[in-house]
Amino acid sequence: MTAPKTLLELSGADLNPPKLSDSCLVLIDIQNEYRAGPLALPDAEPAIAVAAKLLARARQSGATIFHIAHKGRAGSLFDREAERGAIVESLKPLTNEAVIEKGLPNAFAGTDLQARLAATGRTNIVLAGFMTHMCVSSTARAALDLGLRITIAADACATRDLPDGRGGALSARTIHEVALAELSDRFAIITPGEALT
């Protein structure tokens, strides 16, 4: 039996990651909510460390940077007025970097992200953030529909354990890897963060 190939491979797509200088970096929901409490992700800290290095390289390269922050209700998950809803300190936006608040998993839904990306003239977007199976996945899928070329920094993303529907659980690592495998089939180039320069 031959090794499986993705639809992107079968179509002959260019799977080389873009240069950061030709890209927009979109950091999705890298907020304190995922570091503690009911939504704490087991791999949040390593992913944050990779994302911080990626952000530093993106800034140095001249990439356009967008910070996406989920906005929840006051006193609830992702309360942007509270510490829990704040973007983590090591990825704190600079004054010239856009912060876009969203209320749905897809960062394009109900926001001006598409218009802001279009204004840059760039079609390569690099995604990193939380959670792999939810907001990263839905944003990547929507981006394809908008004609963008998507790359995901795999180790700058993380997710959480989920119920399996049969009384058990699927591990965060399994959910993360399956989400990335799904996205690699048609939606995105999947690469380690350090490969993006």
Which residues are tagged catalytic? Answer: 29, 102, 135
pLDDT, average across residues 98-113: 98
Helix 172-186 / helix 137-145 crossing angle, nearest 10 deg? 10
pLDDT, average across residues 137-154: 98
When the pLDDT of each residue in the chain is averaged and rounded to a whole number, the result is: 97
Rounded Cα–Cα distance for residues 159 and 157 (Å):
7
Q: In the structure encoding, which two tokens stand for residue 189, read together? A: 């180039």
Rounded Cα–Cα distance for residues 88 and 100 (Å):
15
Rounded Cα–Cα distance for residues 142 and 107 (Å):
9
> Nearest-CA neighbor of 85 among 49, 33, 39, 47?
33
**Secondary structure (3-state) at 194:** helix
Rounded Cα–Cα distance for residues 89 and 108 (Å):
24
> Nearest-CA neighbor of 86 among 104, 110, 70?
70
Rounded Cα–Cα distance for residues 144 and 171 (Å):
28
Give the model's pLDDT for residue 109. Answer: 98
> Nearest-CA neighbor of 183 among 129, 145, 136, 130?
136
pLDDT, average across residues 26-40: 97
Give the model's pLDDT for residue 2. Answer: 87
Is residue 149 within 8 Å of residue 123, measured between CB atoms?
A: yes
**Secondary structure (3-state) at 181:** helix
Q: With bands split at pLDDT 50, 70 and 90, how would you rate the model's confidence at 1?
A: confident
Which alpha helices (DSSP H) does the chain contain, by range?
7-10, 44-61, 113-120, 137-145, 172-186
pLDDT in tens, 47-58: 999 999 999 999
Rounded Cα–Cα distance for residues 126 and 2 (Å):
31
Is residue 119 within 8 Å of residue 131, measured between CB atoms?
A: no
Q: Is the pLDDT of residue 121 over 80?
A: yes
